[in-house]
Chains A and B, each alone.
Chain A
Amino acid sequence: MALNYSCRTTEHQFARRSFLGGMLTGATAVVGGLGAFTAPQAYAKLNRDQKRIVVFNMHGGLSQLESWDPKPGTDTGGPTRAIATSVPGIHIADTMPHTAKQMHNLCLVRSVNTKNGDHGKGRYMMLTGRAQTPAADYPEIGAVAAKTLNPPQSSLPGHIRITPGGSGGRGNDSAYLGPKYASISLDGGKPPLNTTLPKAVTAAGDEQRNQFRQFANTGFLERRRTAMTDAFTYSYEQAEQLMKQRDIFDITKESEKDAARYGSHDFGRHCLLARRLLENNISFVQVSHSNYDTHNENFNFHLEQLEEFDSPFATFVGDLADRGMLESTLIVVLSEFGRTPRINDRYGRDHWGNAWSVALGGCGVTNGAAFGATNENGTKVVDGEIDHRHLFHTYLSAVGVDPTGTFDIGGRDMLKADPEGHAIKEILV
């Protein structure tokens, strides 16, 4: 079979099948690691033109009224109060006092109208910048970032997701970009699955196995090379590199002082891991925080969840600023939608996509700013209305990627972002 990526869209088929359920075992023993690269001094040596994106996914639907766009004293405001931030004139909810001190490193977008209140559709819209349709599947921002930002010579994956739980493995989120750009999930903040040698396999034995695999591959590829065989070869080689650099995913290599600053709970550890990954030039890291789907006791749950979020997130932003990483790292705090201004009879707020907020910060955006506005009680966008398409364009523009450009997928041009959208030029620098 001739090499022909376009005729059978093999990469696409692979992505759908998530064939890399876990990293393949069988590579050489773990040696060394890149722990030394995590020091600020070492980071300074890295190429500052290398851009990165970190997304904090507030799973379930973060209430804009309890976070970025409080409306105290109105019929929709609830008991939440507004507090001053490090930027005069910008107030956020009193649930995030530490984040308020980092507002000069953040840029709020308070005029998001995605017209959607469905979890699945909202998640898809916010991570792909497109509406979900049966006719096509699009890559998530992490896959796009991995393809466009990861240096070609990089031996590390460019798309990492850190989640509270799960079974690990690779995601089905790269669509036509192929499995190479699909996420590797660090569930529970643990290193990728199967990145240590089984006890029964010695280093020497593993080396012999690899040599035999490469010998067999070479012979096979000379006659029957396809996208599938290339993907398998790539996955083995990436697995081997991952095993050699497993320390990158190990936050026990961080100082006790830093561990204490971020906190001992899962989200704190995950923020510290995100910092470590970004310092090691991973192009895209997504950290999930759960759960904000507060149809019941919205205020209690937001107090609890945001109390957990606030300090580690603010520490993370401050650390990136102190290390000069904000110049090359775009921070995004998003959700699948916001929550209703109306408070239901169980003190809850329901799904709401018509007037909510997203926070950006760092690379390529105007920090210390707030774009757009909702009306007095938050029921309607009154200035600067944008949606998921505009945000997706903005993310790419902020890290120097032309969102109007295309990917060459087997000879077919695929637009990087929805052509109906455009970047929010008012917040780009």
Chain B
Amino acid sequence: MLDTPAGRDIKQAHVTHQWKHDRPLIECRIDPLGRYVFASAEDNLIQRWAFADEVKTPLVGHESWVFAIEHSSDGNWTVTAGGDGRLIWWETASTEPKPVRTIDAHLGWIRTLAVSPDGKTLASAGNDKIIRLWNIQDGTPLGELRSHERHVYCVRFHSTDSNILLSGDIMASLKQWDVSKQALTREFDCKLLHSYNTGQGVDFGGVRAIAVSPDGKHLAVGGLHKASNPLGSVHDPLDLMFDWESQKLLQSCVAENIRSVIWRQLFIDDTTLMAVSGGTSGGFLHFWSPTATKEVHQFKLPKLARDMDLHPDGIQVATTHSDSILRITKLAAKTS
């Protein structure tokens, strides 16, 4: 159960801050203590903005774009990963952040990281199709999970059970793993999120985002559908809402008249899923409930968005954008 913070009103969402970098931004995460937002960019760097004074500090260490950022639950460690196949540990609050630990973890891109709800385990995955498990405190390898046959796009732990990991790939194969046994336990039918365009000869779509509701009753899997022209970005966002226990598909959540893809999503309470999409139509925050196909609310961001994270206060949302700006949006009424 996740309490709704006082003052939150998604229908009053508005942008409060715009923090400028000099290259298009990619991923972002806010540390668990709410002090900083970290955002990667198309320059192989990560920028750390402090909420308190808006000071920007670069993290230099990767040799390719950074596709994933996560934090240890105590907030002490920031772990980043990207196209160089490396995991890098940083002290989150260091005045001059330097790589503390670097591991050549995967062959090819690491696309995704996840931290278990008990804060002990880090999962990483990407183009080598292997999911690797690590002790997030010291980087000790804990095991690996093999079953995917194509690039793994997303891994996420269950919201309350650290022994359950979910992973999805480009073919929209969604797998549920028993972490301690390192065994595959279930698979969800998400093929609506995959398309093969015979004219263009390309697979497209896949599992781009995974979230389990705080009460553990719902699983949301995001991506795209109606990909009539994958190479030209003609496709619509789609989120599949499943009943966790029965695996029954409850809703296909759509956003009408929008051409984009879901990049990330999370439940802001037991019955509200927030997702960020970006594409030809621009950038949006979408709000869906497990009981309706259409959105509860939609907030159009000023520019095309690429990632999103929610501040621990439950009100502020950070989004990265292709115009090199990191935006902070408040899910609340404006204050005078």
A: which residues have CB within 8 A of B? 60, 72-73, 75, 78-81, 94, 164-165, 289-291, 293-297, 300-301, 303-305, 343, 345-346, 348
Cβ-defined contact, A295 with B231, below 8 A = yes
B317 sits at the interface (CB 8 A):
no
Specify the chain A residue showing the minimal Cβ separation from B23. Answer: A75
Q: Bound complex: CA of A165 vs CA of B232, how far in Å? A: 21
B293 in the interface (beta carbon within 8 A): no
Could you list some 25 contacts between A and B, CB below 8 A? A60-B231, A72-B63, A75-B43, A78-B42, A79-B82, A79-B83, A80-B64, A80-B83, A81-B84, A290-B200, A290-B201, A295-B231, A296-B230, A296-B231, A296-B232, A296-B233, A297-B233, A300-B170, A303-B127, A304-B170, A343-B24, A345-B323, A346-B233, A346-B278, A346-B280
Q: Is there a chain A Cβ closer than 8 Å to B237's Cβ? A: no
Most chain A CB inside 10 Å of its own CB: which residue of B65, B279, B304 = B65
Answer yes or no: B322 CB below 8 A from chain A CBs: yes
- Beta-carbon contact of A293 and B231 below 8 Å: yes
Interface residues of B in 196-226 (CB under 8 A from A): 198-203
B151 interface residue (CB < 8 Å to A): yes
At the interface, is chain B mostly helix, strand, loop or mixed? loop
Whether the pair A291, B24 counts as a contact (CB closer than 8 A) is no
Q: In chain B, residues 280-316, which have Cβ atoms closer than 8 Å to a Cβ of chain A? A: 280, 303-304
**Separation in Å of the B200 CB from the closest CB of chain A?**
4
CB-defined contacts of A301 to chain B, threshold 8 Å: 202, 230-231
Given contacts A79-B65, A304-B202, contact A346 B279 (CB under 8 A): yes
The reply to whether A81 and B63 contact each other, CB–CB distance below 8 Å, is yes
- B200 engages A291 (CB within 8 Å): yes
**Residue ranges of B at the interface with A (Cβ–Cβ < 8 Å):** 23-24, 42-44, 63-65, 67, 82-84, 108-109, 127, 151, 170, 198-203, 230-233, 278-280, 303-304, 322-323
Chain A contacts of B280 at CB under 8 A?
Answer: 346
Contacting pair A291 B65 (CB below 8 A): no
Contacts of B202 in A (CB 8 A): 291, 301, 304-305
In the bound complex, residues from chain A placing their C-beta under 8 Å from that of B84 are 81
Distance in Å: Cβ of A167 to nearest Cβ of chain B: 14
Given the known inter-chain contacts A72-B63, A346-B279, please indicate yes or no for A295 contacting B232, CB distance below 8 A: yes
- Min Cβ gap A83→B in Å is 11
CB pair A73–B44 under 8 Å, yes or no, is yes
Contacts of B198 in A (CB 8 A): 165
**Which 3 interchain pairs have the tightest Cβ spacing?**
A345-B322, A79-B83, A296-B233
Q: Which residues of B contact A303 (CB under 8 A)?
A: 108-109, 127, 151
Q: Chain B residue with minimal CB distance to A305? A: B202
Q: How many whole Å from B221's CB to the nearest CB in chain A?
A: 18
Cβ–Cβ < 8 Å partners of A165 in chain B: 198
Check A345 against B24 for contact (C-beta < 8 Å).
yes
Q: How far is the CB of A213 from chain B (nearest CB, A)?
A: 39
The answer to whether B203 touches A304, judged by C-beta atoms less than 8 angstroms apart, is yes
Give CA–CA (A292, B53) in the complex, Å: 45
CB distance from B264 to the nearest CB of A (A): 15
Which residues of B lie under 8 Å from residue A343 when comparing CB positions?
Answer: 24, 42
Distance of A20 Cα from B233 Cα, bound (Å):
38
A427 smallest CB distance to B (angstroms): 31
Distance from A70 Cβ to chain B, minimum over Cβ atoms (Å): 11
Most chain-A Cβ atoms within 10 A of its Cβ — which of B64, B109, B201, B303? B201
Contacts of A60 in B (CB 8 A): 200, 231
Distance (whole angstroms) from the CB of A376 to the closest CB of chain B: 14
Q: Cβ of A346 and Cβ of B304 under 8 Å apart?
A: yes
A304 to B84, CA, bound (A): 17
B151 surroundings in chain A (CB, below 8 A): 300, 303-304
A301–B84 Cα distance when bound, in Å, is 18
> Which of chain A's residues has its CB closest to B231's CB?
A293
Out of A291, A295, A345, which one reaches B201, CB within 8 Å?
A: A291
CB-CB nearest in chain A for B107: A97
- Chain A contacts for B230, CB-based, 8 A: 296-297, 301
Q: Name the residue on A nearest B44 (C-beta).
A: A73
CA distance A170 to B303 in the complex (A): 49
Query: Which of B64, B127, B232, B279 interacts with A81 by CB under 8 Å?
Result: B64
Q: Nearest chain A CB to B209's CB is how many angstroms away? A: 15
- Residues of chain A with a CB closer than 8 A to B127's CB: 303
Which of B44, B202, B203, B304 gathers the greatest number of chain A CB atoms within 10 Å? Answer: B202
Q: In the bound complex, what is the Cα–Cα distance between A297 and B83 (angstroms)?
A: 15
How far, in angstroms, from A81 to B62 measured CA to CA in the complex?
A: 11
With A and B bound together, what is the CA distance between A52 and B233 in angstroms? 39
- List A contacts of B82 (CB < 8 A): 79
Q: Is the CB of B231 within 8 A of A73?
A: no
How far apart sit A301 and B200, CA to CA, in the bound complex (Å)? 11
CA distance A195 to B202 in the complex (A): 31
Task: Report the minimal beta-carbon distance from A97 to chain B, rounded to whole angstroms.
Answer: 10
Whole-angstrom distance from the CB of B269 to the nearest CB of chain A?
Answer: 31
Min CB distance B205 to A, Å, is 10
A351 to B58, CA, bound (A): 33
Chain B nearest CB, measured from A345 CB (Å): 3
Give complex CA distance A165, B199 in Å.
8
Which residues of chain B come closer than 8 Å to A297, judged between CB atoms? 230, 233
B125 to chain A, nearest CB (A): 15
The complex places the Cα of A295 from the Cα of B109 at a distance, in Å, of 21
Rounded to whole angstroms, the CA-CA distance of A60 and B202 in the bound complex is 12
